[in-house]
Amino acid sequence: MLKLIVSLSLSLNLLWATSLQANERYLAFESEEITVELYTNDEANWRFIWLYSQYDELMHWEQDFVREMQQKGLEVWATDILGSLFLTRGSNTVRALSGDSVATVIEAAEAASAQDGKGIILLGSERMTGLALKGIHAWQNLHPNKATHVKGAILLFPNLYANTPVAGEAPIWDPIVQASQIPVMILQPEQGVSRWYAGMLATELNQQYNATYTWVLPEVKDYFLAPWTEERTAAETQAIGLLPQLFLQAAHQLARHAPATHPAQTIALVEPSESSDAPLHHALPRLHEFSEPKAMPSLKGITFDGKSMNLADWQGKVVLVNFWATWCPPCVTEIPSMNRLLAKYQAQGLEIFSVDFQESAEDIAEFAKQVPIDFPVLLDLDGRISKDWGVFSFPTTFVVDRQGRVRYSLNQGVEWDIPELEAPLVELLNEALVR
């Protein structure tokens, strides 16, 4: 079953439970131990397994929220898999893990639920959502046809790409997506970078006739639990307050479609090879060249200062089309170098056309007072332009040639006025315009 819910507005009426100190439990795993923080609640009907993020800077925010979940009547088993196993924190480490470590936590939770009957729901965000699904898959594989209390997984702004997608090309999904055999609820922020890919992901997850749902959280960005800005918005604060109730509603929704036993046979999961997009700390950035020039998607609208812009009017120019947002540090860092690049090559036919992701004209105007921007900034208020261009992260830049064809892309922040990046641009500037 596939269902898309485009907005949520709920009132929170949970009773506050007595706050309990978390007990730590240590689970043997291979030659290490996995530490699990038990935020127990005897009155709760559900046992949520929360997989802490791969990012150190988010941990204390998540721990605060887990304690708040307990205070609002939920039971949570929280675990930091990477910290327990002394692994380097980051997406590539998570991507390479099997689900065995999470299956160990599920096994302990299942033993507890065999005593008290509580349903089990896996919870994770971003890249940890894939590890949650791998853990369920591994647990199912160990216990075919066995009765289970595991009812599903809640995925908060999931990142289930097999590797960092190439801007402008269709994403390749992690193998766990099509191998998953468990009901899934996607909680997707409306202003998240993957907002317009959530339906595509839900369709892929639904391949095995799982119940797959998407709830869109209005007016919030990814990582709204721990915003990169200094203060939360009113919408973020409201969403955080609603999350415990949403988790409970999602658990009941998933349980209605959860099988009573594990599948008799799990789908083989072929672990991806080492990621091709592992950080190259000592390598110079380079543009991704498309094997065949791509047709340029439509790009027109209103800039933050009220001007009407259409990229099609710039045919005959070489154009950098840059997708960014003010809350993205690498986006901000590269703006001065883009200004310098434009000043150096504009007389030869170079232009820069930037697209801001889901921020208001007032946001950009205020930002531009602090950071000069020497090129137009178009507003992508709902994120559809970014989706049409195949943007998966920020910043992302495309290079359009004089014929209006997309020749290169780059999805990282760089210093643009270096020889390695200027060289392909100069080649395009030297190409004759064919009419």
Q: Which CATH number is 288-430 given?
A: 3.40.30.10
Intervals of CATH 3.40.50.1820 along the chain: 2-255
Residue 209 above 70 pLDDT? no
pLDDT at residue 302, as a whole number: 97
Bridge pairing between strands 23-29 and 32-39: antiparallel
Residue 115 above 50 pLDDT? yes
Kindly indicate whether the domain formed by 2-255 is annotated with CATH number 3.40.50.1820: yes
Residue 330 above 80 pLDDT? yes
Its pTM stands at 0.85
**Residues with Cβ within 8 Å of residue 9, at least 6 apart in sequence:** 218
Give mean pLDDT, residues 129-152: 95
Copy the structure tokens of residue 353: 């056309």
Residue 27 above 70 pLDDT? yes
Residue 273 above 70 pLDDT? no
Q: Which of 276, 371, 357, 366 is nearest to 321 (CA)?
A: 357
- 183 φ/ψ angles, rounded to the nearest 5 degrees: -60, 140
Give mean pLDDT, residues 139-152: 94
Intervals of CATH 3.40.30.10 along the chain: 288-430
How does residue 3 score in pLDDT terms, banded at 50, 70 and 90?
very low
Residue 370 above 90 pLDDT? yes
Reported as a single tens digit per residue, the pLDDT across 303-313 is 999 999 999 99
Give mean pLDDT, residues 385-409: 95
How does residue 231 score in pLDDT terms, banded at 50, 70 and 90?
confident
Residue 271 above 70 pLDDT? no
What percentage of the chain has pLDDT greater than the value 70?
Answer: 90
Q: How far apart are CA 309 and CA 270, in angstroms?
A: 46
pLDDT at residue 303, as a whole number: 96
